[in-house]
Amino acid sequence: MYVPKQLFFTRGVGVHREKLTSFEMALRDAHIACYNLVRVSSIFPPHCEEITIEEGLKQLKPGQIVHVVMSECATAEPNRLVSASVGVAIPKDRSTFGYLSEHHAHGQTEQLAADYAEDLAAEMLATVMGVEFDPESSWDEKREIWKIADLFYETKSISKGAVGNKYGLWTTVISAAVLLP
């Protein structure tokens, strides 16, 4: 049975006249273009340890199949704001699973997208752990409830935002959590 033991976060942006090449350039900027990426759903594995991108890349070989939780957003509209984020909510009890979330948006800043992805991951973890809260309440109100419940080890996010190329070239942003054995 394969359960990832480590992960690292990365992000990138690419610009090109072709949408696919723009995506490739974003993968290159994130240092993950030379791997066969397989998108997986959003579970942060029990006992998983976050490592740096440098440590993670040392473990990989070009062409290797690599599992990722990835968010992407692209535009060819000049000056259009795009963002892609991955949030994580890690439970205090590290023997249980947490959540990763993907969020992408047009017209949203990198920081707003990051906050939203983090909030989304935290909500998913809180609901699976039975914490009751009003989903319409503010992030600060929810965070206070979750702090009182003492369930989280950590919540955070990685995000990449960009403004669409002024000449209408494709602009793609990605954020990813790369899962390692």
pLDDT, position 1: 75
In a 3-state reduction of DSSP, which class is residue 87? strand
Which residue's entry shows tokens 């992805």?
117
Which pTM value belongs to this model?
A: 0.90
Give the mean pLDDT of 87-91. Answer: 94
Amino acid at 89: A
- Number of Cβ within 10 Å of residue 59's Cβ equals 14
pLDDT, position 131: 73
Q: Which of 98, 110, 124 is nearest to 11 (CA)?
A: 110
CA 53 vs. chain centroid, Å, equals: 14
pLDDT, position 143: 63
pLDDT, position 123: 86
The residue with greater pLDDT, 123 or 175, is 175
Q: Which two tokens stand for residue 57?
A: 């890349």
Domains and CATH numbers, the chain: 6-180 (3.50.20.10)
The pLDDT tens digits for 5-41 are 999 999 999 999 999 999 999 999 999 999 999 999 9
157 sits in which H/E element: strand 152-163
Q: Supply the mean pLDDT for the chain.
A: 91
pLDDT, position 139: 58
Overall residue count recorded for the chain in this entry: 181
The pLDDT tens digits for 44-67 are 999 999 999 999 999 999 999 999
The pLDDT tens digits for 94-152 are 999 999 999 999 999 999 999 999 989 988 888 887 776 666 665 566 666 556 566 77
Q: Which of 136, 84, 146, 82 is nearest to 114 (CA)?
A: 84
